[in-house]
Amino acid sequence: MSATLEIIVLVVIGFITGAINTIAGGGSLLSLPILIFLGLPPNVANGTNRVGILFQSISTTAGFKSKGISEFPFSIYISVSAIIGSVIGAQIAVDIKGETFNKLLAIIMVLVVLYMVFGKKTKQLITSEKTKGKYLWLSIIAFFFVGLYGGFIQAGVGFIMLLALSSINSFTLVKSNAIKVFVTLIFTISSIAVFIINDKVNWKYGLLLAIGSALGGWITSRWSVAKGDTLVKKIMIVMVVIMAIKLWFF
């Protein structure tokens, strides 16, 4: 692949993943395999992918905030819990063998696709938000494990956060997405630090991915979360199935 085509592919994939992550989650199911296909070792691809996620999370959080959508200090509490989990998860990811990582990623990709196809859509009921008492503590515990998973592999963590925020705290989809990207921003800072310390980041690929991711996240966060969702999911399902087969068998 020529250098010019490489740049175009990474920026475009970054834009798509940024949009997907803002709508729901799972963008890393596209970007991670692409980075591996471009020749990066799996743990380096995992670390490099965080560069795009970091910049996308910054722009997306700013986009939601510009529309007046945020939830403080609740977001801070669960972010601190997620940070602790993410550092542990990232250290596991740094040490794992490449072949094992590829097979785990393939399994996770298939599971997320099955969730996308057969999972029931969350109905947006008008209920009061639950952010205090036992609901706060349940969220703090849940987001430790969210951070653990996100620090390890990241792919599909957005779905887990949306499920937790809607089922535990009764947030709407829009507010859940705003909280999700803020928490992702915070725990990505801690997890990417682990990858940087262990020299598992390709900055050229990461920054190219970040350009597209930041733009995709900013535009989508200010746009309606419902528009284009069906089309994105259809395209994503096809690509994820192909990439999962590639990761598992080749």
Nearest to 52 by CA among 239, 197, 216, 174: 216
- State the pLDDT at residue 224: 46
- State the pLDDT at residue 137: 95
C-alpha dihedral, 122 to 126 to 128 to 131, nearest 10°: 30
Which residue type is seen at 219? I
- State the pLDDT at residue 228: 47
Which residue type is seen at 145? F
Burial class of residue 132 in the structure, from the number of CB atoms within 10 Å of its CB (0-12 exposed, 13-18 middle, 19+ buried): exposed
Task: Say which residue the tokens 């009921």 belong to.
Answer: 125
Alpha helices per DSSP H over the chain: 3-23, 28-37, 42-66, 74-95, 98-118, 134-152, 157-169, 173-197, 203-221, 229-249
According to DSSP, residue 122 is labeled P
Q: How far is it, in rounded angstroms, from Cα 25 to Cα 240?
A: 13
- Within 8 A by CB and 6+ apart from 136, the residues are 74, 77
According to DSSP, residue 120 is labeled P
- State the pLDDT at residue 160: 82
84 Rama class: left (phi>0) / alpha (psi -120 to 50) / beta: alpha
- State the pLDDT at residue 242: 64
- State the pLDDT at residue 194: 93
Which residue type is seen at 234? K
How far from each other are the two terminal CA atoms of the chain, in whole angstroms?
19
Q: Which residues of the chain have pLDDT under 70?
A: 24-25, 67, 70, 112-113, 115-117, 119-127, 222-240, 242-244, 246-250
> Measuring CA to CA, how many Å separate 159 from each of 19, 101, 102, 154, 198?
14, 20, 21, 11, 28
- State the pLDDT at residue 154: 79
The ranges assigned to domains in the chain are 3-249
CB 130 within 8 A of CB 78: no
- State the pLDDT at residue 9: 92
Model-wide pTM > 0.85: no
- State the pLDDT at residue 51: 94
- Within 8 A by CB and 6+ apart from 134, the residues are none
Q: How far is it, in rounded angstroms, from Cα 129 to Cα 170?
A: 5
Q: How far is it, in rounded angstroms, from Cα 103 to Cα 153?
A: 12
- State the pLDDT at residue 247: 61
